[in-house]
Amino acid sequence: MASIKVKQIKVDDPQSVSSVCPFNAIDYDGAFKINAGCKMCRLCVKERPDIFEYVECQAPKIDKDSWRGIAVYVEHQEGEIHPVTLELIGKARSMAAKINHPVYAVFVGYDIKEKALELLLYGVDEVFVYDHERLKHFRIEPYTEAMESFINENKPSIVLMGGTTIGRSLAPRTAARFRTGLTADCTILDVQENTDLDQIRPAFGGNIMAHIHTPNHRPQFATVRYKIFDKPEKIAENSGKVTLCKLDCLSFDSKINVLSVRKKEKTKGIEDAEVVVVAGRGIKKESDLEMVYKLAELLEADVACTRPLIEAGWADPRKQIGLSGRTVKPKLLITCGVSGAIQFVAGMQNAETIIAINSDKSAPILKVAHFGLIGDLYEIIPGLCQKIEAVRKYGEPANVL
């Protein structure tokens, strides 16, 4: 832990030294002492460098060089690989190139060997396969055991998992087992030369981003949601390999017994839509959503909402965009009466074209949008619908007028 070191020099007015601390954490009884009130703000170091010195971590520094590789956990259902895995592989590849590390994929399941080859096409250097009948269903203990074994054997510097229901269960459990750090739902990832992972995510419930790192622990864990990063291109020539891992060190013990699996109907979610119209709290009452649906119909779009509307029960929770909803990356996204809170923006900022309709010139969404329309949505949306319909019916506007 970092601490403040005190050099005991003679001062005429000890009171003036104590008063540099806004938390009253500097005591004087013939010698200066830092008390429990210290918040590590380091103001004292700034004001009186002659007396106070900031000393970094006394904890043993880990040897970062002995941890190599960026590993991606392969999210799948009965061998069918979830696309978030490929997005993470793409990100892992670009980071690995910077620090000259290999990219690994960890594939845990049953009867998945064949599928592992698929991953090589995306530039993975080595796929580690844990294939066993007792890994057929996702059960937390054996899956954590497989991850533990992989990490112990290969010592990766970074482990990435999708922010899905599985990743959000497996990542914290594995990270806790290694007593290491995990940052959930990162929206930006990068890597430093010293292999420290830059993890950036919205934080503190405000409109602010936090840049988080894990300076003294390995591996570094992060989860990222589906559709935050781009799917990578397949590479022309792959030189990667598939390694079947030994399983004799795994006990497969589990207190969980999966009794039955019911496949969910594959409904087309807002994640898959090419055009999305988003309703925010600028919509005053539930029945006014009608005009948003109308516009969506004309544009063959899906309708999504911000969190307050979902909480008011105006739409199905699966229609929520944002940090605690879904992430979308459509070709076109039109927001109607959405302020653009950071938690919302985290779920849509990668849309190709963003058009925002908002009556308030200072709404943060206008900084995110490619085209920001300042105006009343109650005028613009019905007007636009009318215009689209009129043009479809009568041709070019010149003919109508």
Partner 1 sequence: MRVVVCVKQVPGTTEVDIDEETGVLKRDGVESKMNPYDLYALETALQIKERRGAELTAVSMGPPQAKAVIREAYMMGFDHGALFSDRKFAGSDVLATSYTISQGIRKLGLPDIVLCGKMTTDGDTAQVGPALAEFLGIPHIANVLSIIEINDKSIVVEMDMPGSVELAEVAFPCLLTVNKGIFQPRLPSYKLKMATKEREIPIYSLGDYEDQDESNYGLNGSPTQVLKIFPPEANANHQIWEDGGDVLIDKLHDKLRELKFI
Ligand X SMILES: Cc1cc2nc3c(=O)[nH]c(=O)nc-3n(C[C@H](O)[C@H](O)[C@H](O)COP(=O)(O)OP(=O)(O)OC[C@H]3O[C@@H](n4cnc5c(N)ncnc54)[C@H](O)[C@@H]3O)c2cc1C
Residues in contact with ligand X by CB under 6 A are 205, 280-282, 306-308, 320-325, 337-339, 341, 343-344, 347, 357-360, 363, 376-378
Min dist. Cβ of residue 75 to partner 1 (A):
7
**Under the criterion CB under 8 A, does residue 148 sit at the interface with partner 1?**
no
Among 69, 156, 181, 280, binds partner 1 (CB under 8 A): 181
Min dist. Cβ of residue 375 to partner 1 (A):
5
Burial 283-311 (b: 16+ CB within 10 A, else e): beeeebbebbebbbeebebbbbbbbbbbe
Measured CA to CA, the distance from residue 132 to residue 247 in angstroms comes to 8
Which of the choices ligand X, partner 1, none does residue 339 contact, using the CB cut-off of 5 to 8 A by kind?
ligand X
Which of the choices ligand X, partner 1, none does residue 338 contact, using the CB cut-off of 5 to 8 A by kind?
ligand X
Handedness of CA 253, 259, 265, 270 (dihedral sign): negative
Give CA separation, 82 vs 31, 85, 329, 344, in Å: 62, 6, 16, 24
Q: Decide if 202 contacts 368 (C-beta within 8 A).
A: no
Measured CA to CA, the distance from residue 96 to residue 112 in angstroms comes to 25
Write the binding mask 220 to 249 for partner 1: x where contact by CB under 8 A, - elsewhere. ------------------------------
Nearer to ligand X, 72 or 304 (CB): 304
Instruction: Give, as ranges, the residues between 351 and 380 that touch partner 1 (CB under 8 A).
Output: 353-355, 361, 366-375, 379-380
Q: Which residue has the tokens 């779920």?
A: 347
Torsion of CA 214, 70, 169, 88, to 10 degrees: 110
**Under the criterion CB under 8 A, does residue 149 sit at the interface with partner 1?**
no
Measured CA to CA, the distance from residue 191 to residue 213 in angstroms comes to 10
Give residues with Cβ within 8 angstroms of 30, minimum separation 6: none
Which of the choices ligand X, partner 1, none does residue 143 contact, using the CB cut-off of 5 to 8 A by kind?
none
**Under the criterion CB under 8 A, does residue 171 sit at the interface with partner 1?**
yes
Measured CA to CA, the distance from residue 110 to residue 78 in angstroms comes to 7
Nearer to ligand X, 115 or 307 (CB): 307
Instruction: Give, as ranges, the residues between 262 and 281 that touch partner 1 (CB under 8 A).
Output: 262-264, 266, 275, 281
Min dist. Cβ of residue 370 to partner 1 (A):
5
Measured CA to CA, the distance from residue 221 to residue 213 in angstroms comes to 10
Which of the choices partner 1, ligand X, none does residue 67 contact, using the CB cut-off of 5 to 8 A by kind?
none
DSSP conformational letter for 135:
G
Which of the choices partner 1, ligand X, none does residue 377 contact, using the CB cut-off of 5 to 8 A by kind?
ligand X
Among 43, 238, 308, 315, binds partner 1 (CB under 8 A): 308
Instruction: Give, as ranges, the residues between 38 and 57 that touch partner 1 (CB under 8 A).
Output: 40
